[in-house]
Amino acid sequence: MASPITTWEGAEAIFTFADKPAMIGLFLTLSIAVTIYAIVATIIHENESYIDYNE
Amino acid sequence: METSVPSTAELQALLDMTTTINMEVFYWWCTALMVIIHAGFLAYEMGASRLKNALASGVKNILAFAFIVPTFFFFGWWIYLAMYGGFTPDLEAGAGGMPWSLSMGPNLTDNATGIFWGAFVLFAATTASIMSGAVIERIRMSAFIILAIILGSGVWILAAAWGWHPDGWLTTTWGFHDFGAAGCVHMIAGFFALGVIINLGARIGRFDSLGKPVAIEGHSMPMTIIGLMLIIVGFFGFLGGCIIYSGTGQWTTIFGTPATLSAVSFNTLMAFAGGLIGGYLVTRQPFWMMSGGLAGIVSAAPGLELYYPPMAFLIALFASSVAPLVDKFITNKFKLDDAVGAFAVHGVSGMIGLLALGIFAAGYPNVNGPEISFMGQLNSTLVMAALGFIPGYVVSLVLAKLGMLRVPPKAEVAGLDLVEVPLKAYPESVPAAPSDKPVTV
């Protein structure tokens, strides 16, 4: 269950998987990995784009 | 029919919730207005680029925003909360800023963290956009992203922790005062950009064979001018985000000293006008008029809640008169190519602003440190300059040594829209034709 609550009474942190640290860690790690990959993908794209333009 | 009378406790609870929601609403709209800053920077940079680079400059600017937001979530907010004392983190204070903290997401008992995080993210993106304009038309996209993350999610927020935080060591030690973030946002970004352009080098054709500067005109001055005006609009959100809404008393600065939005209104507008006039008097042309308006607000920003409005007007007029001269000086003397004058407009004007406050507002008390003084402002200004310049210079030097900083010369000549994007900015009118010669004026 993604919901950390079963009632709104007394609810505090309500974001998905707020009560499951492993899942928070998983989504956080995936987010960081995707962000880093996007930089790597940019470098790859540049290198491919520059093939015909290198001296 | 009997009506129930609310108890004092119920009324108090209602009042408290109304106050909390008012706070959220205020910063929500400040943040929304700050997004307009980025619309402005986007137009500004694209207009300042030649036709062959207009879209690539736009992509670069948008990506700065895109990468700042997640990285500021991953570690930027933690830096602000934990690093106020210097380089040694306060782990307890920083705990709430860790990306797995229960405050870093929807939480019905925390109306503040997300809204302040959002405002600070927009400040962060602003620093990256300031640097972005200086490096157009020749920096590699990947290098820019790396530099933007370091600046926006690292360096500026460390500077904010030191000098734009109630317990920041610059304030507690030297009485540093900077209402509108002229130091941690503008000086940091301007000096960071200076460090980068030293290693990046000038655009091909920016200097002739004798080293004489050759003007490179962007493809749309009107777009640039409108972009600058949008930045000014967004500045009202930026400056609103600089004031603390407590809900139970007078507004305060981020340093805890009393302030009013009314004061900020007086001085922001007077400084904007002073900046416009200064830019006009020195250059007579719209780019430096609008940049002067920006420089004017930046230079008055440290004391927007304190200055007598004509004083803000004159400080702004001075800073905006100096900015184009500084830009000309670093271009002619050091052969630096700051494509939009970012160092002069943000770095130098921020520096003038911080020092001016030390001269004209000396003696005002601080809540959490000694009173405002010239030496306190001077010392803090030197810290801000070093903190901005050194990371920008060192990281860009490393990237340059690795061959990752600058696009190949042939690609630069052909134009980055054609090489990288590849799309044409105006396919039905003017082709994004390769061009190896800048327009000379």
ipTM, two decimals, is 0.96
Nearest-angstrom CA–CA distance, B49 and B55: 9
Query: In this complex, which of B67, B404, B408 lies closest to A54 when CB atoms are compared?
Result: B408
Mean pLDDT score of chain B: 94
- Nearest Cα of chain B lies from the Cα of A11 at a distance, in angstroms, of 7
B407: chain A residues, CB-CB within 8 Å: 46, 50, 53
Is A11 within 8 Å of chain B by CB?
yes
What lies within 8 Å, CB to CB, of B54 at 6+ separation is B46, B47, B219, B220, B417, B425, B432
* DSSP per position, B116-174: HHHHHHHHHHHHHHHHHHHTTTTB-HHHHHHHHHHIIIIIHHHHHHHHSSTT-HHHHHH
Write down the pLDDT at residue A14: 96
Q: Check CB contact under 8 Å for A32 and B414.
A: no
Which tens digit of pLDDT belongs to each residue from B365-393?
Answer: 999 999 999 999 999 999 999 999 999 99
Numbers of helices and strands, H then E, in chain B: 18, 2
Give the SS3 label for residue A3: coil
Quick one: what percent of chain B has pLDDT higher than 90? 92
- In 3D space, the residue among B187, B179, B180, B185 whose CA is nearest the CA of residue B160 turns out to be B185
The band of B438, judged by pLDDT with boundaries at 50, 70 and 90, is: low
Nearest CA in chain B to A29: B74
pLDDT digits (tens, 9 = 90+) for B122-166: 999 999 999 999 999 999 999 999 999 999 999 999 999 999 999
Give the model's confidence band at B437: pLDDT under 50 very low, under 70 low, under 90 confident, else very high.
low
Q: Which of B341, B413, B390 is closest to B196 using CA atoms? A: B390
Residue found by looking up tokens 């010669």 in the block: B437
- pLDDT score of A52: 87
Asked if B400 contacts B200 with a C-beta cutoff of 8 angstroms, the reply is yes
